[in-house]
Amino acid sequence: SLRAQDIHDSGHIFGRVCTENGIEHRLTKIGHPWTNGQVERMNRTIKDATVKRFHYDSHSQLDAHLDDFVKAYNFARRLKTLGGLTPYEFICKAWTSQPQRFKLNPIHHMPGLNIS
């Protein structure tokens, strides 16, 4: 098929877009399903907070709720695995100690006013 040929010629579109944007795309190892456990657990957390709890009359309602959930999770949810920090606080802490690992300053990506 044409799509199969496109994938063969230029790699998978997701991997290509990641490469074009300087993002390292890693895949789990074949035969090691436990390495995907963290992703599956996060998917379950999102489903439990959205589609399993609410009815959406439109795709845009779901999109808006998902956006709200992700913001609340990243900027307000304190996680034991991150030493009690929110994901955003953890990223900012990593930025201050290892800025060479980042392309952009994450401090400028806080929702709301970003006044220095």
Distances (CA, A) of 31 to 8, 12, 34, 35, 73: 23, 21, 9, 10, 31
pLDDT in tens, 21-71: 888 887 777 777 666 787 888 899 999 999 999 999 999 999 999 999 999
Q: What's the pLDDT tens digit per position in 64-98?
A: 999 999 999 999 999 998 999 999 999 999 999 99
Q: Is the pTM of this model over 0.75?
A: no
Residue ranges per structural domain of the chain: 1-30, 37-76, 78-116
| Sign of the Cα pseudo-torsion (98, 101, 102, 106, in order) | negative
